[in-house]
Chain A
Amino acid sequence: MSLVNYATREITCKIVYYGPGRSGKTTNLHYIYGQVPDDRKGKMVSLATQTDRTLFFDFLPLDLGTISGFTTKFQLYTVPGQVYYQTTRKLVLQGADGVVFVADSQARQLEENIESFQDLHANLAEQGIDARAVPLVIQYNKQDLPKDLILTTAELNDALNFRGVPEFGADALHGPGVFETLRSISELVLKRLSSPAK
């Protein structure tokens, strides 16, 4: 998918929030949605199960208006975290310009994080994408929980961030870290404009 269409003067950018179940991907999108001024608000589509888990995916279109003469639109997607939604995850991942990996900072979730992170790489590889070439940012969510329940960002870095991508501690429910993450991934994605992947 071409990110910048010079002919129609459009920039469209697909960012996928990936991560294990209940790590807060949808929460990220909800917080962002809440911050969008009313006149810019698109409709957030959430296909959730009855128990409020993401069944298929969330989709948040962000119309950023005209930037440098380009109509700029971001599409934010989340994947369902639960292991058995593999097919949906692959589907959503298609054509992603950037990936935010939302990890659950709780110590007991470490295994799920690692498993999901490997799943991400496997899915990318399956689509013939070199995971090293995809802009990626890691968010360690739920950093607001009591210290004894969670791992620090340093510990999580050791476990997950072997590639040294930008990482952010976050509290997606209340906001800290959410926009930092989005900004970081957006900038990485845009940076690829000037040095397009071959």
Chain B
Amino acid sequence: MATSTHLQATDIDEVTYEQQFTRPIHIVGRYTNLFGAALMFLPSLWLYLQYGVFPPTEAILVGMGLALTYAVPFYIIEPISYYPTLGDAGTYMSFFAGNISNMRLPCAAVAQEVAGVEEGSKKGELVATIGIAVSIWLSIIAVFIGAVATGWIVQVFPPWIQDAFKTYLLPAVFGAVFGQFALRGFKYAIVALILATLPLLLAWKAYVVIPLAVFGTILIGRLMYRKGTTQVEEGEGHP
């Protein structure tokens, strides 16, 4: 990595960071996400007030029952599992705007790599915040254009390209981000891959496998890190 792009090695002062970033982030994050939750009722309310249409209770109960069976485990698992990577601001933003694994996390990772900051540091979190915010602006504008001009887009891009994006981009994204982070610690990458692959082969559910892969890798990573820092000479414990 070229040193010219590196930010200063020292991290930001604890008190400054708390006062100028963490505190306002938690206040605004909390209110905007809770306000966002309330806003989710807006379309249905508007549909009822303007057109007098509201789904019957039974349809809501059955529909919500099916939807919640799918979603509830992820309400808890995803914020906990993604938090170490996203940080405070990244968590509020990403769970409001969505598309976390395919867009927010990759953008945060690239922003950190470009700025040359360390993951898990305060500077790392600030740079990730900028990367995620940029991706939110871009994706909202692009989705609006996409919704307005779907017909045009479908006509302009040949079916071969559309199929490539629909079927193969996401698998490539996951591989690419995994590859990027494998460079930061191959031994941890192998642990993560084993912990994710074995339960998947046993057909375990996603809400079990995700926390197992994340926290299992952290736990084994902790043991490896401790062993590394006590056995090797100073400085070699770096990921």
The answer to whether A and B come from one shared complex is no
Residues of A within 8 A of B (CB): none
Chain B residues in contact with chain A, CB under 8 A? none
